[in-house]
């Protein structure tokens, strides 16, 4: 039995103005099946029901592509990607993107490689802590960085902005009611060579509130960042 209702998947993506091809539907179906199966033996996600996967993982990951322009062929790094969100759903709907998935847990990275191979995504999957990867040739090598994480924006920015080229952007996928968090993060974002370019509040198809924070990289990040221990 398939992990997700494919008719519901089509309906949800039509509702967010992202109609899916048959190939894209098949890719999402395979991804969901692999996610649910692997979740039986390791902790990838607490959300494993069909509706939750479709709305809280797949649609949530892709909605920013309809809000913020991501250039054709952009290089994108997903920092602390976990089970592959938001970058794998983004890649399924935007095959032109060149994605790199970075995570600190090797078992998750192995799962991501399996998904990339199964879906022919061509993703680069890297086992590294965010603060270590940013001190390699990955530093300032990407047009876009993404993160969909519970960490505060000030912490996420220090982990993610060092990967972004000047002229690129960091897309932070946050929940609702994060204005205070954004205000607190602004000084550190400036120190990292970034500036907040846009804040967009929206809702998932189930009504859950979300906020997309778009941070432009306006100058190189100082060599002292990211720090080993980010507060």
The SS3 of residue 69 is coil
> Could you tell me the pLDDT band of residue 230, with boundaries at 50, 70 and 90?
low
The SS3 of residue 20 is coil
Which of residues 1 and 212 earns the better pLDDT score? 212
CA distances from 147 to 9, 114, 155 (A): 23, 21, 11
Q: Which of 97, 117, 94, 84 is nearest to 20 (CA)?
A: 94
The SS3 of residue 230 is coil
- Quote the percentage of the chain above a pLDDT of 90: 95
Task: Decide if pLDDT at 81 tops 70.
Answer: yes
Query: pLDDT, tens digit, for every residue of 125-143?
Result: 999 999 999 999 999 999 9
Query: pLDDT, tens digit, for every residue of 28-43?
Result: 999 999 999 999 999 9
Residue 161: beta bridge partners? Answer: none
Q: What is the reported pTM?
A: 0.96
Quote the DSSP letter at residue 14.
H
pLDDT at 160: 97
Quote the DSSP letter at residue 136.
T
Assigned token pair, 2: 């398939």
List, in order, residues 6 or more apart from 143 with CB less than 8 Å away: 70, 71, 74, 75, 76, 164, 165, 168, 169
CA–CA separation, 35 vs 176, rounded Å?
A: 26
Helices (DSSP H) in the chain: which residue ranges? 6-15, 22-39, 50-52, 60-67, 87-93, 106-119, 130-133, 153-160, 179-191
Q: Which of 223, 214, 167 is nearest to 192 (CA)?
A: 223
């Amino acid at each position: 039995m398939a992990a997700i209702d494919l008719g519901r998947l089509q309906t949800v993506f039509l509702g967010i103005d992202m109609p899916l091809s048959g190939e894209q539907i098949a890719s999402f179906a395979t991804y969901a099946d692999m996610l649910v199966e692997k979740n039986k033996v390791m902790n990838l996600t607490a959300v494993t029901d069909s509706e939750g996967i479709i709305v809280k993982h797949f649609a949530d990951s892709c909605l920013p592509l309809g809000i913020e322009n991501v250039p054709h062929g952009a290089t994108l790094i997903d920092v602390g990607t976990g089970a592959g969100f938001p970058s794998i759903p983004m890649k399924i709907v935007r095959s032109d993107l060149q994605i790199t998935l970075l995570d600190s847990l090797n078992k998750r990275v192995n799962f991501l490689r399996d998904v990339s191979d199964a879906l022919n995504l061509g993703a680069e999957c890297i086992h590294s802590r965010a603060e270590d990867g940013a001190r390699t040739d990955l530093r300032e090598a990407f047009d876009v960085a993404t993160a969909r994480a519970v960490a505060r924006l000030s912490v996420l920015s220090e982990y993610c902005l060092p990967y972004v080229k000047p002229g690129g952007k960091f897309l932070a996928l946050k929940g609702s009611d994060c204005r205070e968090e954004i205000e607190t993060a602004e000084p550190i974002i400036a120190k990292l060579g970034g500036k907040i370019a846009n804040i967009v509040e929206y809702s998932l198809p189930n009504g859950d509130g979300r906020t997309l924070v778009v941070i432009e990289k306006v100058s190189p990040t100082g060599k002292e960042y990211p720090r080993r221990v980010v507060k």
